[in-house]
């Protein structure tokens, strides 16, 4: 199995409904997103998928979140825009755009330099 990984970032604000503490208030993050794509076979020039193609897919997904108040964007108007839910959202959006021979290994969403959530589907 081969795995390729790209990283990008976006900035946004959110508040966590039902949370007791500072995060219930409006606040922002400079989120870092790390996406790993896996597959079994390389193409005829020896690559799984071009890094620029993954970066383009990721950038298109993150543009939906960048410089927005996440609580106003579906599905976060109904569910909390936690790092866990954001990682699932990004995973789902990228999964729709990948060729059938590739799968997402994981999506990490970092809300700070030392705190992140990961979403992946078990094999």
Residue of 14, 29, 108, 111 with catalytic role = 111
Residue of 40, 67, 84, 96 with catalytic role = 67
Residue of 20, 23, 40, 64 with catalytic role = 23
Active site residue 96: no
Active site residue 111: yes
Locate tokens 């960048």: which residue? 66
Q: Is 21 exposed, middle or buried (0-12, 13-18, 19+ CB in 10 A)?
A: exposed
Angle (CA) 6-116-103 rounded to 5° is 40
Q: How far apart are CA 97 and CA 86, in angstroms?
A: 17
Active site residue 27: no
What residues are annotated to the active site?
Answer: 23, 67, 111
């Amino acid at each position: 199995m081969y795995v390729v990984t790209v990283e990008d970032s976006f900035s946004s604000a959110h508040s966590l409904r039902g949370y007791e503490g500072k995060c219930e208030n409006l606040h922002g993050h400079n989120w870092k997103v790390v996406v790993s794509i896996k597959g079994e076979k390389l193409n005829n020039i020896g690559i799984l998928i071009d890094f620029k193609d993954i970066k383009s897919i990721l950038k298109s997904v993150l543009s939906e979140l960048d410089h927005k108040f996440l609580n106003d964007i579906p599905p976060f108007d109904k569910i909390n825009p936690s790092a866990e839910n954001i990682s699932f959202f990004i995973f789902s959006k990228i999964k729709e755009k990948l060729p059938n021979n590739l799968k997402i290994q994981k999506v990490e969403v970092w809300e700070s330099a030392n705190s992140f959530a990961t979403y992946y589907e078990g094999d």
